[in-house]
Chains A and B, each alone.
Chain A
Amino acid sequence: MSIAILSNINMDPLKAFLPAEQHYFCPYGQYAQELLDPKSPLNTREFNTLYLHLEGEELVKEILYTLIDAKEAGILIADKLGLVFGGLDQFRKRHPATKFLMTTVVLPPLKFLNYMDVNSQYSFSLLEEDINREIIRFSQTCAQFYVLDWKSVVMSQGWRDTVDEKFWYLGRIKYTRKAFQAMAREMQNIDNAINGKIKKVLVLDLDNTLWGGLAGEDGIAGIKLSEDGPGKAYRDFQQAVKSMSNLGVLLAINSKNNAQDADDILAHHPMMVLGPQDFAACQVNWNSKVDNMKELAAQLNVNLDSFVFIDDDPRERAMVREALPEVFVPEFPPDPAHLKTWFFEEVVYGQFPKVLVTKEDREKTIQYKAHAERLLVSKTMGMDDFLQHLEIQVGVYVNDQRFVKRTVQLMQKTNQFNMTGRQFAQAEIEGFLKGQEMLVFNADYRDRFGYEGIIGTSLVRLKKDSAVIEVLLMSCRVIGKKAEYTFLHHIMGHLKDRGISTVAAEFIPTQKNRVAADFYQNAGFQQVGTKQDSIQWQAEVMRMADALKEKI
């Protein structure tokens, strides 16, 4: 499975949990431009699956603490989703074989409107539902577009176990290890479902599995199976098992019992949910369960690698695992109270995952198509339209005292779009501000979706009528939107005003800054040589200031 990960947050830790096959992590926040730009890494490689995870709080951050009318919020979100869907649509034309997997959006459970939220016109719970409805509608207009309900995953393991704000503040990592692990597991399950790598037969033991107690000793009157009390745990479990036959799973029995004792209960116990007619095959005898399993496989004409076996007895489980490693034999919950939940968690989602793929289902959804199309900003939206749509504003500050700390921080933290990786200490920067030898540039970024703050730094050493760019970097959040060219343009303009005629620059490759390798060339610099670890560039300030203007 080769997979591309697109997100508005840092998903790097997911890497550790994905199979060691090919994956590509699109720099976070850059999914729209990577989808649209035909030259982006995303577009120039082929992926089996494109995974798109939009984190809710980040998605609606501009309005999360505002009293914004549902209608207005809807427009803003439709605008954002339109960009995503427009991008996906463009991408699909270039890569018709790639499958899409998108997650539902989850907003934090604690709202500033607290008890009012649920029934106010400003409700974020309702906004969350609206967003997810749009995602599902859009998915239904595309073949090979699957939705992973991240909301269910979060609910199942709990918000506090999902989110760790600490790593968010330190590195834009929103989720805990546990959450990333769960996410990778769900991705694998869905991939298995899409590729039909799922089990077909669910084989069950009887005593202490479908009911409490022993058929042979307790008899029909003594076993635990009831409408209330502990016996209800077994009844609920039976209901869950029965529901699997609706999904096309074959049920079978493999039990050590007198057939007569078992049949008596199966056919006549009033609280049985499952009956003899629900089982495609039964082996109730005193043979070994391994032999019984082989017999079931022969009767049903299904390979044993499509079998799941549930048994409360650890020795029986061990024997089957040992002799028939192709059969999936999960552990069994120590307390029957958790049987049903355990069954869904460990067996249903993991072994019998299903996604909707039938043709009829797709056709049913044509009615949604018109709606989804309205959502798209433009079906033919290209990169330039996208950038124009964003209304980007880059502000540039020279030798500004306020940004000294941020400058130091950016030099330490920016690994990708960083031309030299050079670092200076806070005291050195403060020295530069007082002296004449080095100019300190900072850039901030704003577009219609919000303000990103100071995201760029450049240090330019001044000589008589020339200058050297010693540091040039930009946070990868804003790269790919041409903000980097705008920043350089401003720098050039400033140097021009100072009477500088030529400017030198260098690129020092590291393991992480490949994304910046072509920047000086694209910006119009001439390569003038290479030193040991670096590539030297040069440009005339006059010409650059004009050439860059065309770029932006």
Chain B
Amino acid sequence: MTKQDIHERLTGIAVDLFKVPAATVMDLKVGMEPWDSMGHLELFMAIEGQWGIKFTMDEIIRLSSLDEIVDNIAQKVGT
């Protein structure tokens, strides 16, 4: 799976979860509605389910943009 694929799937998950149009999903920032602390956790639950990977507590606290998350997933699944 390429980074581009990961990016596409992740934005799909975020669009579903946060109920925002795909065009604006990359502008979202953690801590700002609708990406609140609960949404943050649900996003990671969904990602873990989607790719069958696990994040540590520290990673979940640290990763705060979709770009960072894409990079981290890519590392974990070994692209």
- Taking Cβ atoms with an 8 Å cutoff, the residues of A that contact B are 10, 12-13, 16, 166-167, 169-171, 173, 176-178, 412-413, 415, 423, 510-512
User: Interface of chain B, helix or strand or loop or mixed?
Assistant: helix
Instruction: Given A173-B41, A177-B46, decide whether A415 and B57 contact each other with a Cβ distance below 8 A.
Output: no
A16 CA to B43 CA, complexed, in Å = 12
The answer to whether A413 and B37 touch across the interface, beta carbons within 8 angstroms, is yes
Instruction: Given A13-B45, A170-B41, A177-B46, decide whether A511 and B60 contact each other with a Cβ distance below 8 A.
Output: no
The answer to whether A512 and B45 touch across the interface, beta carbons within 8 angstroms, is no
Supply 17 further A-B pairs (C-beta < 8 A) apart from A10-B38, A177-B45.
A12-B42, A13-B41, A13-B45, A16-B42, A170-B41, A170-B60, A170-B61, A171-B37, A171-B41, A173-B41, A173-B45, A178-B49, A412-B37, A415-B37, A415-B38, A511-B34, A512-B33
A415 CA to B60 CA, complexed, in Å = 19
The answer to whether A177 and B49 touch across the interface, beta carbons within 8 angstroms, is yes
Fill in one digit per residue for B41-63: 1 if any A CB lies within 8 Å of its CB, else 0.
Answer: 11011101100000111001100
Name the A residues within 8 Å of B36 (CB-CB): 415, 512
- Taking Cβ atoms with an 8 Å cutoff, the residues of B that contact A are 31, 33-34, 36-38, 41-42, 44-46, 48-49, 55-57, 60-61
The answer to whether A177 and B34 touch across the interface, beta carbons within 8 angstroms, is no
Name the B residues within 8 Å of A176 (CB-CB): 45
Name the B residues within 8 Å of A512 (CB-CB): 33, 36
The answer to whether A167 and B41 touch across the interface, beta carbons within 8 angstroms, is yes
A185 CA to B55 CA, complexed, in Å = 26
A13 CA to B60 CA, complexed, in Å = 17
A512 CA to B37 CA, complexed, in Å = 12
The answer to whether B57 and A169 touch across the interface, beta carbons within 8 angstroms, is yes
The answer to whether B37 and A177 touch across the interface, beta carbons within 8 angstroms, is no
Name the B residues within 8 Å of A16 (CB-CB): 42
Q: Which residue of A lies closest to B46 (CB)?
A: A177
CB distance from A548 to the nearest CB of B (A): 30
CB distance from A428 to the nearest CB of B (A): 16
Name the B residues within 8 Å of A13 (CB-CB): 41-42, 45
Name the A residues within 8 Å of B60 (CB-CB): 166, 170
A169 CA to B37 CA, complexed, in Å = 12
Give the one of B31, B42, B60 with max A CB within 10 A: B42
